[in-house]
């Protein structure tokens, strides 16, 4: 069904909106206090602009990335926009999502974030959720696991990565100004990344 791509994006947006205040509170502790509001606004625009009737997953992700890039403020807009647009390149023309296709798309998204943000794992960013998620997902697929099972592993690893961000100091973005004082605070970007993966997992398992 063509609308499934749209419906998945709408679920991601709904989860982000549900957690808007939580994400903003996290960002208030170490950032500009706008991550939740910015991400909710961005996905409201995605739901408005992405066509319901186009089954091309890549096309929907490209539109999503472009929309987030133009509507989400701060560092999150460029990073999330890049992630979706890089994933779009991998899934261009695809009307169904395979386990391997998702692995390649997530890998491309992570690589795009790393390049755009000039960042690596361990700097208290969304990569601390996404890189472990990618590793866990790939390990399960390589072992012959299914897409839903691999997504379960990815989400568990992402949640562990979110928890890990509380134990390290930020070295990127506004949070880096706090130095050691950022230890003990959860990274909002890693949190929204984990929320996104959870929404995808739940949608796939419906």
Q: pLDDT (tens digit, 9 = 90+) per residue, 51-70? A: 999 899 999 999 999 999 99
Q: Give the contacts of 130 (CB within 8 A, at least 6 positions apart).
A: 106, 109, 110, 113, 158, 161, 190, 193, 197
Query: DSSP letter string over 138-158?
Result: HHHHHTT--HHHHHHHHHHHH
How high is the pLDDT of residue 149?
Answer: 96
Q: pLDDT (tens digit, 9 = 90+) per residue, 21-45? A: 999 999 888 778 899 999 999 999 9
Residue ranges in the chain whose pLDDT is less than 50: 1
* Residue 142, Cβ density class (10 Å: 0-12 exposed, 13-18 middle, ≥19 buried): exposed
C-alpha–C-alpha distance, residues 153 and 56, integer Å: 26
C-alpha–C-alpha distance, residues 202 and 194, integer Å: 12
Question: Could you state, in order of their start, the residue ranges of all structural domains in the chain?
Answer: 3-204
How high is the pLDDT of residue 169?
Answer: 84
How high is the pLDDT of residue 200?
Answer: 97
Q: Give the contacts of 49 (CB within 8 A, at least 6 positions apart).
A: 63, 67
| pTM of the entire predicted model | 0.94
Query: Which CATH class for the 3-204 domain?
Result: mainly alpha
């Amino acid at each position: 069904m063509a609308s499934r791509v749209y419906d998945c994006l709408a679920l991601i947006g709904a989860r982000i909106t549900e957690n808007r205040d939580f994400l903003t509170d996290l960002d208030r502790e170490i950032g500009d206090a706008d991550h939740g509001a910015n991400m909710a606004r961005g996905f409201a625009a995605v739901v408005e602009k992405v066509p319901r009737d186009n089954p091309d997953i890549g096309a929907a992700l490209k539109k999503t990335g472009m929309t987030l890039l133009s509507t989400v403020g701060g560092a999150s807009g460029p990073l999330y926009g890049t992630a979706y647009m890089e994933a779009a390149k991998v899934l261009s023309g695809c009307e169904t999502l395979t386990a391997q296709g998702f692995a390649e798309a997530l890998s491309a998204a992570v690589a795009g974030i790393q390049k755009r943000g000039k960042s690596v794992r361990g700097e208290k960013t969304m990569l601390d959720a996404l890189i472990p998620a990618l590793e866990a997902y790939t390990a399960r697929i390589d072992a012959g696991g299914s897409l839903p099972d691999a997504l379960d592993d990815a989400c568990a690893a992402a949640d562990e990565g979110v928890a890990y961000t509380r134990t390290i100091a930020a070295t990127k973005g506004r949070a880096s100004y706090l130095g050691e004082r950022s230890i003990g605070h959860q990274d909002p970007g890693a949190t929204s990344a984990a929320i996104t993966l959870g929404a995808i997992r739940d949608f796939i398992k419906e």
